[in-house]
Amino acid sequence: MINPLLEIFQTPFQTPPFGQIKDEHFLPAVMEAIREAKEEISQIKSQDHPNFENTIEALESAGSRLAQVSAIFFNLNAAETTDAIQQIAKEISPLLSEYGNDILLDEALFEKVEAVYRQRATLELDEEQATLLEKTFKSFIRNGAKLSATEKVRLREIDQALSKMGLQFGENVLKETNRYELVIEHEEDLKGLPANIIEAAAQTAIERDKEGKWIFTLAFPSYVPFMTYSENRGLRRELFLAYNTKCCKGDELDNRGIIQSIIRLKNERAKLLGYPSYADFVLEERMASGPEQVLAFLHELLEKSKPKAEEEVKELAQFAQELDGLEQLEKWDFAYYAEKLKKQKFEVDDELLKPYFELENTVRGVFATANRLFGLVFEKNEAIPVYHPEVNAYQVKDLTGNHVAVLYTDFYPRAGKRNGAWMTSYRGQRKTATGDQRPFVSIVCNFSRPTKTKPSLLTFNEVTTLFHEFGHALHGMLANGKYESLSGTSVFWDFVELPSQIFENWCYERECLDLFATHYETGEKIPDSLIERLKLAANFHQGYQTVRQISFGLLDMAYHSSSPNDLIDIVAFEKSSMAKTELLPAVAETLMSTSFSHIFQGGYAAGYYSYKWAEVLDADAFELFVEKGIFDPETASAFKEHILGAGGRIHPTILYRRFRGRDPKPEALLRRAGLLATS
């Protein structure tokens, strides 16, 4: 049987032939690709005179088929998974973990790499080559190349176990999310909810064979509007508890034991490699060089933002008391009353804004913004295969018609798709002997579906989410490096959010909004008065939101810098770690750790702080765009060259200085968030 994953793809730009790929193709393809990669490694080890080209560059390009097959498989496991794919993942993950260890623990291979590394002062490498050499050598050291034989065996066991546990954690969260539904039978329980949200809930009920009722789920487009608009406080509490008690109910989906095992193994791995904690291990390769620097950064932000957050909560509690006689503001009340207060203060709310942000128009606006800044043109190409009928594929070109990238967009929730929004790549960018291999990039979101009477209309928060993920996509699409491991988003984790977070800033600018923000029924452009109110409302509850983000960063650092012995009681550990950031009464039953996929399944372990870290960079960088003009060609060109195109070719501190002319100033973030007076 022909396995399409092992053939040259006969598709436009050699994109993945999704329609030909069956579940049963993945495991054999991974096994064959591993065999091929090991042959390539053997060739490197056979070199009598190791040098940069035959060792470091050869190692960089080894296993390219394996990278391609793995990218296709794991991206589908996130966006279009099935029970069968999840089962295959449990077989594939240990194989990949073992392969990675086979490479990084191979003494003969490390000998060749180290021989080249010793010559580095005489090799006359350019900065990208020098970075690749340094990164390659350090990857061996950081993955146990100098451990004893017994220690290497243990490292392999740890990595195998961690790969399985991360998958299981994510599967449990997805199953818990999918199995819950809030079924409403009486129309009076829908009071306060916008018509389109009610219509969507009725549509969900029909799809689940419960016609005549309304169903709300834990998917963001269902959960968030209910918590924001429902007048039924009891149902808000019920949905809040369902969302915030995921995977901590003592059943087969409980993730507490998995968390304890993950932290214990990560700690053991770090100690094995000579680091005091897993956080120390991770942060060695970050702009923030250690846990102390991260904690100092978070605590400084907390000191600046908590007084403002406390004022905001006090004001909201008083507002709720005056409006409804509410004696105690609880966590399930916050979004509901915050939306009402925002509307009263700024005469702006999501329902007023949504008609101006029809999804297709907003996508066109994102494309137009990228065109104005970076000269990109997006053409839908239906010849490019997609993995689901709702996915669109675009060829991306520059202004002269040269091919730049392929972009996939996937916007609606499905049972096989995890919550949230993300950018990913099916193929990275690199320079090869035959030319420039251009990337295949995807953005995946969970926006409200169109209903029978209305198109998909975005909240302003969803608009910023789309711009955010598209910023990541630009980082991938405009990559211009020699080596895939240093290209695009392959940068330090606390730098990777700069392109995404800075792109959100354009959403608030008239010049950008004019490109797409028109009323879906009347065609009227969003009025100036609404934009002004939108800008004023941008800092609404910024103190509260900042403290909330800090709380997640502190919890992450606590997990990854503490002793596993402290985790006997996950509930007590979480409460203690987040105590300084608590602004509302604690809810005893809740536990966010058990669904904290960013750090237990994704790549943010000991790195959640990077969202706030990158906000400092993006606020400082965008001040230059404001000063010069938000579509200033010179500034955009510098950002494209030194940030988006440069990838990880050199330390991000240097790249930022090349763009900005200096180091970032934290005051820019505090100014933007309204936590510091404007100079």
Pick the closest to residue 381 from 400, 404, 359 (CA basis): 404
Q: Which alpha helices (H) appear in 209-346, and where do they start and end? A: 220-229, 233-243, 256-272, 278-283, 291-324, 331-346
d(CA 138, CA 266): 19
Q: What value does the mean pLDDT take over residues 305-313?
A: 96
The pLDDT value given to residue 419: 86
Sign of CA dihedral 195, 201, 205, 208: positive
Give, as one character, the DSSP assignment of residue 643: I
**Segment 28-84, tens digit of pLDDT:** 999 999 999 999 999 999 999 999 999 999 999 999 999 999 999 999 999 999 999
What pLDDT was estimated at residue 515?
96
CB 664 within 8 A of CB 656: yes
Residue 115 reports pLDDT greater than 50: yes
| Mean pLDDT of the region 555-581 | 95
DSSP state of 595: G
Average pLDDT, rounded, for the chain: 95
**How far apart are the C-alpha atoms of 428 and 405, rounded to whole Å?**
10
Is residue 159 over pLDDT 50?
Answer: yes
| Per-residue model confidence (pLDDT) at position 3 | 96
Residue 678 has pLDDT above 50, yes or no: no
Q: Is 469 marked active-site?
A: yes
**Who wins on pLDDT, 602 or 504?**
504
Query: Residue 475 and residue 617: Cα distance in Å, rounded?
Result: 15
pLDDT at 324: 97
Return d(Cα 670, Cα 620) in angstroms, integer: 10
**Cβ-based neighbour number of residue 48 at 10 Å:** 6
Question: pLDDT digits over 556-565, tens only?
Answer: 999 999 899 8
CB-CB contact of 382 with 393 (8 Å): yes
pLDDT at residue 679 tops 70: no
Chain segment 620-675, per-residue pLDDT in tens: 999 999 999 999 999 999 999 999 999 999 999 999 999 999 999 988 998 888 88
Q: What are phi and psi of 365, to 5 degrees?
A: -65, -40
Contact 165, 262 (CB under 8 A): yes
- The pLDDT of 340-353, averaged and rounded, is 91
pLDDT value, residue 52: 98
Res. 677 pLDDT band, cuts 50 70 90: low
DSSP string, 24-62: HHHHHHHHHHHHHHHHHHHHHHT-SS--IIIIIIHHHHT
Q: Let me know: does 199 contact 454? Beta carbons within 8 Å.
A: yes
Catalytic residue among 469, 504, 574, 623: 469
Contacts of 606 (CB under 8 A, 6+ apart): 278, 279, 281, 282, 283, 291, 556, 557, 560, 561, 599
Nearest CA-CA partner of 192 in 240, 225, 239:
225
Going along the chain from its start, the domains and CATH numbers come out as: 4-146 (1.20.1050.40), 180-243 (no CATH), 355-540+611-672 (1.10.1370.40)
Tell me the per-residue pLDDT of 418-475, one tens digit each, with 9 for 90 and over.
Answer: 889 999 999 999 999 889 999 999 999 999 999 889 999 999 999 999 999 999 999 9
Residue 114 has pLDDT above 50, yes or no: yes
pLDDT digits (tens, 9 = 90+) for 4-21: 999 999 999 999 999 999
Rounded to an integer, what distance in angstroms lies between the CA atom of residue 340 and that of residue 215?
24
Contact (CB, 8 A) for 158 and 268: yes
Check: CB of residue 332 under 8 Å from CB of residue 236: yes
Question: 266-274: long-range contacts (C-beta < 8 A, 24 or more apart)?
Answer: 266/162, 266/560, 266/605, 267/563, 267/564, 268/154, 268/158, 269/155, 269/158, 269/159, 269/162, 272/144, 272/147, 272/151, 272/154, 272/155, 272/158, 273/142, 273/143, 273/144, 273/147
pLDDT at 501: 95
Averaged pLDDT for residues 528-537: 91
Integer Cα distance of 440 and 476 in angstroms: 8
The number of helices, as runs of H, and strands, as runs of E, in the chain is: 27, 9
365 vs 419, residue with greater confidence: 365
